[in-house]
Amino acid sequence: MATFRIKRFNPEKQPEPYFEEFQLDIPPGATLLDCMNLIKWTLDGSFSYRMSCRSAICGSCAVKANGHALLACQRQAEHIIQNDETITLEPLGNMKPVKDLVVDFTPFWDKINKVKPYLEPKEAPPEKERHQSPQEFRLIDDSSTCIMCGACYSDCNTLEVDDNFLGPAALAKAQRFVGDSRDSQTLERVKELSEPGGIWDCTHCGECVERCPKPARPFDRIKEIMTVALDKGVTNNVGARHAMSFFNSVKRSGNLNENRIPVESMGFFNIPGLLSLVPVGLRMLLKGKVPPVIHHSIEEVDDVKRIFKELDQ
């Protein structure tokens, strides 16, 4: 017997969401979705959520369980029950609830559409098909497994504070076409994805990888787009300059020069950007947080330099 603590919301009856508890005897081998169905079918028919295939293919049943997004049909209920015999269910994060666990996916799909999620081929349609080698397909294999469930979008820390960020699902979908050997718009794509709200606004928390129920691993796909952008010379932006400054700092000395990185990231001739750093610098100075001008040497610094030397070779 477990307690299901479910966040309910029905704007037609009550303006604010609230939690309601249900007692359920979990059948052996039942998934979380099985339990949600039992609650709806036997305890409260007004309980609302999305579901479809029950086979971890459609992505419809993504919810938050105990604070983290997952596919309800993919997880056994007994594996996520907490020590106090409770399971807390909430709607996906970073989207507005419509009713109970149903959320409005409109901003999610708007951001998917922004990355132009379709092939723009290099030539006119052939008589049969466009050929792609197995090696070329492997570059986009993982991103093609995304089922658009919204779990990564829900738990993305950047989206929580920045609505302008495209989000991990859209960027993973973008990599599907940036890395496609048959696409003709690679340079144009990475230029657009390097704009504010794109790849360089990712905070590298890796939460999207933890929540993704498939091998899509959005953060890995974002890093792959970053690599293509740098290889294509799309470096006239703060994010790319920051990555290059970080790389060059460690390559030069084996140490990270934290005084140079902010300046090099903004750009030496970006006067407004450099001036924006002054208040932060003053606060750091007053708090005694300014990095030392001469860094202490790290252990085995020669090994770090050797790695970069071998990489260049």
pLDDT at 289: 84
Residues 26/77, Cβ–Cβ less than 8 Å:
yes
The Cα 255–Cα 244 span in angstroms is 14
pLDDT at 137: 96
Residue ranges per structural domain of the chain = 2-103, 106-231, 238-312
pLDDT at 273: 84
Tell me whether residue 223 is exposed, middle or buried, using C-beta atoms within 10 angstroms of its C-beta: 0 to 12, 13 to 18, 19 or more: middle
The Cα 246–Cα 258 span in angstroms is 9
Nearest alpha-carbon partner for 187 in 229, 145, 223 = 229
pLDDT at 296: 72
pLDDT at 73: 97
CATH superfamily of this structure's domain 2-103: Beta-grasp domain (3.10.20.30)
Per-residue pLDDT of the chain (313 residues; tens, 9 = 90+): 999 999 999 999 989 999 999 999 999 999 999 999 999 999 999 999 999 999 999 999 999 999 999 999 999 999 999 888 999 999 999 999 999 999 999 999 999 999 999 999 988 888 888 889 999 999 999 999 999 999 999 999 999 999 999 999 999 999 999 999 999 999 999 999 999 999 999 999 999 999 999 999 999 999 999 999 999 999 999 999 999 998 888 888 878 888 888 889 988 888 888 898 899 889 988 988 888 777 777 778 888 888 888 988 8
The Cα 97–Cα 7 span in angstroms is 10
Q: How distant, in Å, are the alpha carbons of 12, 115, 235, 296 from that of 266?
A: 49, 26, 12, 25
Residues 198/137, Cβ–Cβ less than 8 Å:
no
DSSP state, residue 194: T
Write out the H or E segment, with its range, that includes residue 69: strand 68-71
Whole-prediction pTM value? 0.89
Write out the H or E segment, with its range, that includes residue 62: strand 62-65
For 106-231, CATH number out of 3.30.565.10, 1.10.3210.10, 3.30.1330.10, 1.10.1060.10 equals: 1.10.1060.10
